[in-house]
A and B are shown apart, each in its own frame.
Chain A
Amino acid sequence: MVEGDIQIAPDGRLRHCLTTEGMGGERITEILDLAESFAGVNDKVIKKVPLLRGHTVVNLFFESSTRTRSTFELAAKRLSADVLNIDVQRSATSKGESLLDTIANLQAMQCDLFVMRHPESGAAHLVARHVDDDVHVINAGDGLHAHPTQALLDVFTMRRHKPDLSERTVAIVGDLRHSRVARSEIHALRALGVGEIRAIAPRTLLPVDLEGLGVGVYEDIDAGLADVDIVVMLRLQRERMEHALLPSSSEYFAGWGLTPERLARARPDAIVMHPGPTNRGVEIDSRVADGPQSVILEQVTNGIAIRMAVMALVAGTAPQREGR
């Protein structure tokens, strides 16, 4: 598939990180293992390694973001890169400059790595196709399509709690139809051979042909949560109500919100995840979000290590694995 090809360099290395689709279990495992080593850096007093010294990383966010952008910035700085944050609201793009012209100008400033979030699906692919050979693109979320580093930090968090994912059941609950996180996560989990993936949502929030991706579909949350090991909650966006996909947030919470009573249907040691930001009382009860099974803040911490690993890999500065 073309998607898998464009992010791989001719020598087989990861050149861009655009999607988890077609990435393969071995490469994902390589990223997770590298992230484990960077997780140690984050615990030290001096949280820096010199792997991206002399490199310039551009955070180019066409959609607002606090968490993702901050963790990318921290990750780049902990790798000793120079970081440029472009305020797109004030940039040339808002004056009518095309996306590719913006990128061309930044390339002319000898920037090496673009971390890009964009409201259009495929925007990161477009940029990756047009950058110079020694420039790298990391997709920090494109439209409804992909958010690979979020998916990778999620599976990293899962693996830390449930080392053998092949025996596990993962439930993804909420608006899968409009979730780039869910798409990327499903590809990553399948590549890692997870035992079972379930999607739980009202039908208006499910993409067509989810079953074709090897995902079991449940419209009843009580049935869907039975005996699962991992629950991934997705954020519900208010505009979904305006688009007549749901009657109201209260009805959604009553039907699909994660409460302690519903979580009790999962395995007792099940973990609860959420890519954030959470809407308490809409998709998740505060007692669950703040409860002992929640690993939501761990996900944020792990995001830095994963993003360090991805940046070092695409830039070609990551420590080589033995046997490569």
Chain B
Amino acid sequence: MTALCITGGRVIDPASGHDGEADVWIDDGRIAAIGAAPASFPEHDRIDAGGCIVCPGLVDLSARLREPGERHKGTIASESRAAIAGGITTVCCPPDTSPVVDAPATVELIRQRAIEADQARVYPIGALTAGLDGQYLAPMRALARAGCRAMGQADRDVGDSHVLRSALTYAATIDRPVILPACTPSLGHGCAHEGPVASGLGLPGIPVAAETTAVARIIALVADTGARVHIGRLSSAAAVDLLARAKADDLPVTADVAAHQLELTESALTGFDTRAHLRPPPRSTGDRDALREAVGAGVIDAICSDHRPHEPDAKRRPFEASDPGLSGLETLLGLVLARVAAGDCDLATALARVTAGPARILDLGLGTLTPDAPADLCIFEPETETVVDPDRFVSRGRDTPLAGRTLPGRVRTVLVDGRVRSG
């Protein structure tokens, strides 16, 4: 494997606190050093990163790759290539594929397809309950041995609190974190934030209470079981408050937010724009601002893409009948940088939420440029602006309500294991 030096860039590694112009030395797929060349560094190639930020490759905790089961929406090959185009070197895919990721063979299939694609790293999340049906525990130990770093329920709730308590206890036994959705299904039948926009459009609303009741239950069970729980995709100020209190009590609970939740509000639905049919739904301006603040303050640990590619027909239906979700891999970095541009937080903090933060939640040993870490890097031009143009997406999914928006930053080069990937 060729040795490599990335020269002249501003290197930001939130995990180690490094921030400054430096050379990055890579050997045998791993970080060899930052700064001066290590002694007797072998003959190497160079990548000029002048004017660029060099940071760890982004780690995305929630991206649907649609395979197995929904290849008409996307494949592991197409979507992991889109991840690279977005500067993302690691994607964690929820277990709601078809079949569900509740057997080691499915984990193996996904891993094999990812190896064949040879793009981003892919970590399948194992199912917490068999078939995600919330009734029986999935074979978590076998799934962990097959390579699942965490267990989860995708969007599906475990209705029976006894089953959930058992599942969390068992997951703690095998030392795996659990990723849970923040929605109580019986309150979450709608398709829009229960607020003035949904009222005006006549769309069934999802109240904030759908999220807070779920988060409160999760926190109570974390306190009871000691399990590590990561709450996926918060959307409301009230849930952020509950999370902050749980963290103040030193409970092992973390959370992420989808990048688009930091940008959109319920007004994105105006005119029945099905591209803004998302789950959880974009909420009020106050909710969005609270999420932004929580990202800056570290109450929210990670920002994910919540990537959900669709075939075109999925959105060519009346709003409620359309499929929820957007194509988010290729706008994740831009949305994160937009928060920096808006002054919500500094660049290192923002990058921590898409590198060290998510990597730490799943114990991936990634998301850092410390010596001997895998050389997964994202090199981007911070001063270049990019207009979101879905027609130019690498992803098969072309739906985003952000189309036409100008976002800061442009990904120039992405490396996984020290090798440049195509994107």
Interface centre among B196, B271, B273, B318 (most CB of A within 10 A): B318
Bound together, the chains give a CA A222 to CA B200 distance in angstroms of: 27
B319 touches A120 (CB 8 A): yes
Given known pairs A1-B270, A2-B271, A6-B271, the reply for A208 and B199 (CB within 8 Å) is yes
B318 touches A118 (CB 8 A): yes
Tell me which of B201, B313, B316 contacts A122 (CB under 8 A): B201
Q: When each residue 126-164 of chain A gets 1 if its CB lies under 8 Å from chain B and 0 otherwise, what string results?
A: 100010000000000011111000000000000000000
Interface centre among A99, A121, A209, A213 (most CB of B within 10 A): A121
Contacts of B321 in A (CB 8 A): 120
Q: How many residues of B contact A (CB 8 A)?
A: 22
Given known pairs A143-B202, A144-B202, the reply for A122 and B319 (CB within 8 Å) is yes
Within 8 A of A (CB), among B246-292: 270-273
B270 touches A121 (CB 8 A): no
Bound together, the chains give a CA A213 to CA B195 distance in angstroms of: 12
Q: Does A246 contact B (CB under 8 A)?
A: no
B318 touches A2 (CB 8 A): no
Q: What distance in Å separates the Cβ of A3 from its nearest Cβ neighbour in chain B?
A: 6
Bound together, the chains give a CA A118 to CA B205 distance in angstroms of: 19
B318 touches A122 (CB 8 A): yes
Q: Does B320 contact A (CB under 8 A)?
A: yes
Contacts of A118 in B (CB 8 A): 318
Q: How many residues of A contact B (CB 8 A)?
A: 29
Q: Does B194 contact A (CB under 8 A)?
A: yes
Tell me which of B196, B205, B318 contacts A126 (CB under 8 A): B318
Q: When each residue 313-333 of chain B gets 1 if its CB lies under 8 Å from chain A and 0 otherwise, what string results?
A: 100111111000000000000
- Tally A-B pairs: CB < 8 A: 72
Q: Does A100 contact B (CB under 8 A)?
A: yes
A144 touches B204 (CB 8 A): yes
A125 touches B272 (CB 8 A): yes
Q: What distance in Å separates the Cβ of A317 from its nearest Cβ neighbour in chain B?
A: 28
Contacts of A100 in B (CB 8 A): 316
On A, residues with C-beta under 8 Å from B are 1-3, 6, 21, 98-100, 118, 120-123, 125-126, 130, 142-146, 180, 183, 207-210, 212-213
Interface pairs (30), CB distance under 8 Å: A3-B271, A98-B313, A98-B316, A98-B317, A118-B318, A121-B201, A121-B203, A121-B272, A121-B320, A122-B201, A122-B272, A122-B318, A122-B320, A123-B318, A126-B272, A126-B316, A126-B317, A126-B318, A126-B319, A142-B318, A144-B204, A145-B202, A145-B203, A180-B202, A183-B200, A208-B195, A208-B196, A208-B199, A208-B205, A210-B199
